[in-house]
Amino acid sequence: MPELPEVETVCVGLAKVLVGMRFAQVEPRRRDLRVPFPPDLAERLMGRSVVSVTRRAKYILMELDGDDMLLLHLGMSGRLTVGPDNGAPPGKHDHLICRFAGGDGPVVMTFTDPRRFGLCDLLPKAVVSQHKLLRGLGVEPLGPELTPAWLGERLRGKTTTIKAALLDQRLIAGLGNIYVCEALFHAGIRPTRRAGLCSQAQIAKLVPAIRKVLRAAIAAGGSSLRDYAHTDGRLGYFQHQFCVYDREGEPCPGCACSLSKTHGIRRVRQGGRSSFYCATKQV
């Protein structure tokens, strides 16, 4: 599933092209993805202009003139591409096609989703924060609310692992498996460590590690492992900078350990996901 850096990259790509343009044609090519498309989606979007494109956690928020917001989520395999409208026929998994007028010429945005776990909703701006998918979300990991003191207070007494705590969207919104593994490596914390047993010194390292990893990933355009790509079709390349994720049995960066003794980066299953860590550097 695309995580925060991938969604942020998509938002930037959409904003660069679509802000100021207006919907000229809206074509839902099926009745639903994870949930049904709004029945009046095309009628409500026609003629509306895009004011901004922002992100909340892993959700894309397209602000329209008037009082509506288009809410998009990429799900497991969704992809949003945008570019000049050359009249190419839609593909098998292109489920929503939006054509825009204005700017330097006609543009088309295509929502492609082979597994159909994505979603699209349209709602008044005034109630966006109360949407059932958004109202329970925690703080943004790149926002000012996330501080070592704040996180330490909320981890106190927690019996879940630190990995599970960081993946809890009610605590910190937008973090996913890849970037939690990477941040814990940089902070020197083993993913299986009980959250409530993390010292304040460890948490003081963890918060900047989270920000460092996310900013580096955004700068690299995210990680392309399966379906994810930029809005112009290019792939992200942060996967080439992974320190531990998906590198089982390999040495971690700067490791002077004997692989015959340590067996390199280890992988364990936690909550149905793979966690990767260095048993020497992470405690």
Q: pLDDT tens digits, residue range 148-173? A: 999 999 999 999 999 999 999 999 99
**Residues 95 and 14 reside in one and the same domain:** yes
**Statement: residue 258 has pLDDT above 80:** no
**Residues 162 and 257 reside in one and the same domain:** yes
CA distances from 105 to 11, 41, 70 (A): 20, 23, 22
Read off the pLDDT band of 41 (50, 70, 90): very high
In a domain, 135, yes or no: no
In a domain, 120, yes or no: yes
Of 55, 58, 79, 190, the catalytic one is 58
Domain with 36, as residue range(s), is 4-130
Mean pLDDT of 205-215: 98
Is the pLDDT higher at 209 or at 262? 209
**CATH number for position 262:** 1.10.8.50
In a domain, 175, yes or no: yes
Q: What is the pLDDT of residue 228?
A: 82
| Dist. CA 39–CA 237, nearest whole Å | 38
Count: domains in the chain: 2
Query: Is residue 2 annotated as a catalytic residue, yes or no?
Result: yes
Cβ atoms of residues 177 and 270 within 8 Å: no
Mean pLDDT of 93-109: 93
| Dist. CA 33–CA 226, nearest whole Å | 19
Mean pLDDT of 101-118: 92
Greatest extent of the chain over all pairs of C-alpha atoms, in Å: 65
Is the pLDDT higher at 20 or at 261? 20
Read off the pLDDT band of 261 (50, 70, 90): confident
Of 99, 116, 194, 273, the catalytic one is 273
**Statement: residue 225 has pLDDT above 80:** no
Query: Is residue 3 annotated as a catalytic residue, yes or no?
Result: yes
**Residues 215 and 97 reside in one and the same domain:** no
User: What are the strands, taking DSSP E only, across 166-255?
Assistant: none
Q: What is the pLDDT of residue 15?
A: 97
**Residues 107 and 203 reside in one and the same domain:** no
**Statement: residue 227 has pLDDT above 80:** no
Share of the chain above pLDDT 70, in %: 100
Query: Is residue 250 annotated as a catalytic residue, yes or no?
Result: no
User: What pLDDT digit, counting tens, does each position of 2-31 carry?
Assistant: 899 999 999 999 999 999 999 999 999 999
pLDDT mean across residues, the chain? 94
Contacts for 276 with CB less than 8 Å, ≥ 6 apart: 181, 185, 244, 245, 246, 247, 248, 265, 266, 267
Cβ atoms of residues 211 and 225 within 8 Å: no
Query: Is residue 273 annotated as a catalytic residue, yes or no?
Result: yes
Of 2, 5, 28, 141, the catalytic one is 2
Q: What is the pLDDT of residue 176?
A: 95
CA proximity to 50, closest of 84, 78, 14, 85: 14
**Residues 161 and 266 reside in one and the same domain:** yes
CA distances from 161 to 186, 237, 243 (A): 17, 29, 21
| Dist. CA 218–CA 62, nearest whole Å | 19
Mean pLDDT of 256-273: 87
| Dist. CA 210–CA 163, nearest whole Å | 12
**Residues 109 and 38 reside in one and the same domain:** yes
Put simply, whether the predicted model's pTM sits higher than 0.85 gets the answer yes
Q: What is the pLDDT of residue 144?
A: 96
**Residues 61 and 161 reside in one and the same domain:** no
Q: Look up residue 195 and give its two tokens.
A: 């959250």
